[in-house]
Each structure stands twice: as C-alpha cells, then as structure tokens.
Amino acid sequence: MLLSPRRARLGFATLALLAFPALAGCATHHHHHGARGPAPRSQHGESHVGTVETTDHGRARYHAGHGVHLVFDATWGGYWVRELPHHFYHAGSFFRWHANRWHRARHPHGPWVRTVPRGLPRGLDRHRLRIARREARRDWKEARWEARHAHREERREDRQEWREEKREAKQERRDDRREAKQQRRADKGERRQARRDDKDERREARHERREDRREARREAVDARRTRKAEKQQARRDRKEEKREARAERKAAKRGVADSAVPADQAADDEG
C-alpha cells in the first residue's frame, strides 16, 4: 500500500513525537539528580546520592530543590513521589494523575497544566496502577494519613485559635458589660444621691416654709390677742369712765337735793 507524501510526513512526525519523551528521558534523566552532598534520610532508613543510572529500583533519594523523596522505578525509568500520592517525576517534570486526567508541572505543587497521554514518559500511563497498588501503596497510604493528620492538626490549631479568639472576644464583651454595668451602677448611685439631695433640699425648704408659716401664725395670733386685749381694755376704760360719770351725776343730784331740804325746813320754821 502506497502512502501519499503528506501522510508519510504526518506519520513520521507522529513517530518523532512519541519517541521524543523517551529520548529526552535518556538524555536528561540526571538533570535534577546530579547535586552532590548528603541527602536527608528516607522513610526506609536509606539515603542516596547520584544520578539515575546509579540508583537501583525501589531506592529513594531526596530532591533538595523541591523537598520531596523520589523513589526510582526501573520499569518505566522514572520516579514516583513518596510524599504525594499519584505524583511522578521524570526528566525535570512532575506528572499528576487527578480526576482521571494527567497534568504536568515543573513543581510538585503546581501550577498544573493538563496534558495528553502522548505527552507522558513512555510506560508511565501503563504502569501507574501497578505502582499505586504495589510499589507505592504503603507509602502513599502513610502520606495520605500524614496529610490528613496534618490537615486535622491544622484544623485543630485553627479551631483552637478560633476558640481563643472567641474566648478573648467573649472576655472582652464580658469586660465591656462589666464596665458598662459598673458605669450604670455608678450613674444610678449618682442619680440616687442627687434625688436624695434634692429630696433633702425640698424637705428643708418645706420645713423652712412650715416654720415660717408657724411663726407667721404665732405672730398673727399674738397680734389678734394684743388687739383683743387692747379692745377689752378700751371697753373697760370706757365702762369705768361711764361709771365715774354716772357717779358724778348722781353725786351732783344728791348735792342739789341736800341743799333744797334745809331751805324747805327753814321756810316751815318761819311759817
């Protein structure tokens, strides 16, 4: 069967794209693993330094640039990430299986870009389930437990912080209410004292007015008594004067009568 030149060019380009990840992995597999120096001890008690070619199957090495442990899988020539479930590493790129799709990034925590299976390293999509079920099952289970534990601890710390903030806010509200209550009590005491002082002032004013009225009544009674006594004395004086006048008139009449009797007797004698 003969192919047209255009179809032949498309087929060659497709083969080149499929072969490029494997060639790139063979050429640059040691790009991020050539750093020298002691690496942190892995969870299995092993610490490895070197390129991919010097790392055996199942051995872990620490990637200082990203802070994760990479476990080599010789079946497809790449790594799976011990701390991150369904995360893989190959030729300076991280791959993640999430929501039934593949994603690619330069960092284990993203940003992630969706990719197609043709953009994956050779064998990764085929060996993903095997790695998840056999090689990385325990480590990823522990990683999930640690992530859940860390999330739980973070939530516990957040709840504790929220409780502390709520307790502080409650204590502040309680203090504010206590201060407001004390202020209201002080204001109430001041108002009560003001009412008591005003009542005392009104009582003193009433007492003064009552004393003034009593004094005025006493003065009025004394004045009436004085006037009554003066009137009575005046009546007695007038009666005395009338009595004296009558006595004088009687005496005068008696004197006239006495003087008339001797004259009559003299006339009788002469007769």
| Residue-wise pLDDT tens digits, 152-193 | 888 889 989 999 999 999 999 999 999 999 999 999 999 999
pLDDT at 233 over 80: yes
Lowest mean pLDDT among 2-11, 20-29, 169-178, 182-191: 20-29
Question: What pLDDT score was predicted for residue 261?
Answer: 60
Residue 262 lies in a domain: no
Structure-model confidence comparison of residues 75 and 216, the more confident one: 216
**pLDDT at 6 exceeding the cut of 80:** no
Average predicted confidence (pLDDT) for the chain: 76
The whole-number average pLDDT for the span 6-32 is 42
Q: Closest Cα to residue 65, out of 46, 45, 93, 98?
A: 93
> Do 108 and 85 meet the contact criterion of CB atoms below 8 Å apart?
no
| Number of neighbouring beta carbons within 10 Å of residue 233 | 10
Reply yes or no on whether the pLDDT at 251 is more than 70.
Answer: yes
Judge whether 32 lies within some domain. yes
> CA-to-CA distance for 233 and 126, rounded, in angstroms?
148
- Is 242 inside a domain boundary? no
Query: Over 70: is that where the pLDDT of 38 sits?
Result: no
In a domain, 171, yes or no: no
Tell me, yes or no, whether 90 lies in a domain: yes
- How close are the terminal C-alpha atoms of the chain, in Å? 226
In single-letter form, the type of residue at position 206 comes to R
Q: Residue 7 has what pLDDT?
A: 52
d(CA 4, CA 190): 107
Whether 203 is covered by a domain: the verdict is no
Residue 109 has pLDDT above 70, yes or no: yes
145 lies in a domain? no
Q: What's this model's pTM, rounded to 2 decimal places?
A: 0.39
Q: What is the pLDDT of residue 259?
A: 72
What is the arithmetic mean of pLDDT over 257-271? 64
Query: What's the rounded Cα separation, in Å, for the pair 77 and 239?
Result: 159
Sheet containing 113-115: give its strands across: 60-63, 68-73, 78-81, 87-90, 93-98, 101-105, 113-115
pLDDT of residue 268: 63
List the domain range (segments joined by +) for residue 116. Answer: 13-135
Overall average pLDDT of the 98-112 stretch: 88
How confident is the model at residue 145, as a pLDDT?
A: 76
pLDDT for position 21:
40
Higher pLDDT, 95 or 122: 95
Per-residue confidence (pLDDT) for residue 126, from 0 to 100: 79
Do the domain assignments include residue 93?
yes
Number of domains in the chain: 1
Q: What percent of the chain has pLDDT over 90?
A: 24
